[in-house]
């Protein structure tokens, strides 16, 4: 079965410093990976996805993620953190559930705190 | 583009009341919609997958008669929590997938916080 792990419950970064939020996955076949962000009392917003192609994927709000097949990782990164980046971040992998229908398997989430 | 509107955003009601939550795709047609439940400081739990014009597919452990899902059109899905009790209090989130492409991202509503007294 597909699975996603986010090993850090919380990541603290000073404003202006680079940030990394970690994600590792376990899939059978080709991975289809996603990152979402959730602000308090809000739904999730799509940041980026990896389906195929370049290992470095660029997304919304200056975020990018690097797909590493040998390490089965898909870490989210940003060169210079903003206080407004503080939120809950979820990594997800696509899973086929039945027939041609698919769902996303979610990581537990990582709380990112950017300190001024 | 790809905006999903979820209404209401917050509901407080008495035990035994039925509550309906609406999820609308505003600028696209959503052949598939998903309903999630999120507990405090936890990840999302998929409750059901809803395809337009057909019955929803519920995940194991989710009561069909308790959580009624209707996906009557390509832009609207509803979740009705019937005879709600305090243990049903939670944050419910819907999402919709653009078109039929399984590699397309899901777009989420802002969620509904349900509090049952």
DSSP states of B11-76: EEE-TT--EEEEEEESSS-EEEEEEEEE-TT--EEEEEEEETTSPPEEPTT--TTTEEEEEEETTE
- Average confidence (pLDDT) over B43-53: 87
Q: Does residue A99 carry a pLDDT above 60?
A: no
Q: Is A17 on the interface with B (CB under 8 A)?
A: no
A20-66: pLDDT as tens digits: 999 999 988 788 899 999 998 788 899 999 988 899 999 999 999 99
**Closest chain B residue to A47, measured at CA:** B105
A70-97: pLDDT as tens digits: 999 999 999 999 999 999 999 999 876 5
Distance CA B48, CA B63 (A): 10
- Token couple for A3: 């699975």
Residue B44 confidence class, pLDDT cut points 50, 70, 90: confident
B17: closest CA of chain A, how far (Å): 23
Contacts of A41 in chain B (CB under 8 A): 9, 91, 110-111, 113
Q: Is A40 on the interface with B (CB under 8 A)?
A: no
- Token couple for A49: 């996805």
**Closest chain B residue to A51, measured at CA:** B103
Under an 8 A CB cutoff, do A100 and B102 touch?
yes
How far out from the chain centre does Cα B70 lie? 10
Picking from B105, B107, B110, B115 by the largest number of A CB atoms within 10 A of its own CB, the best residue to mutate is B105
Do A19 and A35 touch, CB atoms closer than 8 A? no
Distance CA B112, CA B105 (A): 21
Distance CA A110, CA A78 (A): 15
| Alpha helices (H) along chain A | none
Residue A101 confidence class, pLDDT cut points 50, 70, 90: low
User: Which residue reads 């809950």 in tokens?
Assistant: A88
What percent of chain A stands above pLDDT 70? 94
What percent of chain B stands above pLDDT 70? 95
Residue B95 confidence class, pLDDT cut points 50, 70, 90: very high
């Amino acid at each position: 079965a597909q699975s996603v792990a986010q090993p850090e419950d919380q990541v603290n970064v000073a404003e202006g410093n680079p940030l990394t939020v970690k994600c590792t996955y376990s899939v059978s076949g080709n991975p289809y990976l996603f990152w979402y962000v959730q602000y308090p009392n809000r739904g999730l917003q799509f940041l980026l996805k990896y389906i195929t192609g370049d290992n470095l994927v660029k997304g919304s709000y200056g975020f990018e993620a690097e797909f590493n097949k040998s390490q089965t990782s898909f870490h989210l990164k940003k060169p210079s953190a903003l206080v407004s980046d503080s939120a809950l971040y979820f990594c997800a992998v696509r899973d086929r559930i039945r027939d041609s229908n698919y769902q996303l398997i979610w990581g537990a989430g990582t709380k990112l705190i950017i300190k001024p | 583009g790809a905006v999903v509107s979820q209404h209401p955003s917050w509901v407080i009601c008495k035990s035994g009341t039925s509550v309906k939550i609406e999820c609308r795709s505003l600028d696209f047609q959503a052949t598939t919609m998903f309903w999630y439940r999120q507990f405090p400081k936890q990840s999302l739990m998929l409750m059901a997958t809803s395809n337009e014009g057909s019955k929803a597919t519920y995940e194991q452990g989710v009561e069909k008669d308790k959580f009624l899902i209707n996906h009557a059109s390509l832009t609207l899905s509803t979740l009705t929590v019937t005879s709600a009790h305090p243990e049903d209090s939670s944050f419910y989130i819907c999402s919709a997938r653009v078109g039929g492409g399984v590699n397309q991202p899901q777009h989420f509503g802002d969620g509904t916080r349900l509090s049952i007294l």
